Amino acid sequence: MRVGILTGGGDCPGLNAVIRAVVRKGTMFYGDSILGFEEGWRGVLENRFQLLDLDSTPGIIHRGGTILRTSRTNPFKDPQGLERVKATFTVNHLDALIAIGGDDTLGVALKLNQAGLKLVGVPKTIDNDLAGTDVCFGFDTAVNIATEAVDRLHTTAEAHNRIIVVEVMGRDAGWIATYSGIAGGADVVLIPEKPINLDQVCDLLQRRHGRGKYFSIVVVAEGAQLADQIGQTTQGTQVDEFGHARLGGIGGRLAAEIEKRTGFETRMVNLGHIQRGGTPTAFDRVLATRYGVQAIDMVHQGEFGRMASLQGQKLVSVPLEDALGKNRKVDPEIYDIASVFFG
């Protein structure tokens, strides 16, 4: 078969491991030709690809980013988009396309599938909030990076009797904040699922200081909102092709309020894209490899309009519809565990 592959949306560690697995199993077991489209859907619109084989994909399992590069291009923004995508399928005799991405990229895959093209999805988001699967690759790496940052910030916060607010990724769900908060021993964790009550946050910090602890770490997800805030904290008004604003700044607002209300000296660190860069953990390399093998198997089993999915310990496939439009929120039980250590 002739199988296309692309990576769309924000990058995350493990994308190359998926590509490597698709190429390995596709070429060695099925005799496929694999066409790697560049920069997400932009490459499909522009018919820009590289042929991927064992010679072009060695030594990439440990590399972050994506050898195909990525973009947030939405082909349906172009009135001719569908026809252009169809033309790319036709001219290259493409039998199927594997789209590795989150809600936006897979939403496009579903629409294309409904238009008669053969699409398979692989779930990807650092935020770990895609429905239809238990875990997305890249999340574990991000949690490890954020945890290391929290560990490091502990020592400097302690040395200076300071509060340090750490802003981490998490647009609509606070998975990274909750996991790195538990692992790093954060004193307060704030997530988009729960509006921030400033009085409560300051009470917790004061209670902790009342116990003779003169420093604290607060982890906040970028998408978290103050209780009286309308909308998330954004950096400007621009939106991407899928309508998402650039988030960022809640950590700074929070730090200023905490300092004002408690009188404790406070600093803020935004980890930003550091969380998405660099080497994937072993867990993410294995998970991404499993997703890649599952995706190419799905192509050969004719499971189109579906997504590779981790359910418990097993790789299965689910309809793309199951993943889309519904955010997977942080499990309240896990957040309750984090909160045992607050204040």
Nearer to ligand F6P by Cβ, of 157 and 169: the residue is 169
Per the DSSP assignment, residues forming a β-bridge with 239 are: 245
In angstroms and rounded to an integer, the radius of gyration of the C-alpha atoms of the chain is 21
The residue among 127 and 193 lying less far from ligand F6P, judged by its C-beta, is 127
Instruction: Give how far Cα 218 sits from Cα of 39, 201, 215, 227, 315, Å.
Output: 36, 9, 10, 17, 35
Least Å from the CB of residue 273 to ligand F6P: 6
Q: How far is the CB of 316 from ligand F6P (least distance, A)?
A: 24
Of the candidates 211, 226, 236, the residue with the CA atom closest to the CA atom of residue 256: 226
Residue closer to ligand F6P by CB (options 169, 204) is 169
List beta partners, residue 25: none
Which residues are known catalytic residues?
127
Q: Do 267 and 165 meet the contact criterion of CB atoms below 8 Å apart?
A: yes
CA dist 193 to 111, 196, 210, 332, Å?
29, 9, 29, 9
Binding site for ligand F6P (CB under 6 A): 10, 125-127, 169-171, 222, 246-247, 276
Q: What's the min distance (Å) between Cβ of 160 and ligand F6P?
A: 29
Q: Write down the least CB distance from residue 139 to ligand F6P, Å.
A: 11
Nearest to ligand F6P of 88, 133 (CB atom): 133
Q: How many CB atoms lie within 10 A of CB 84?
A: 15
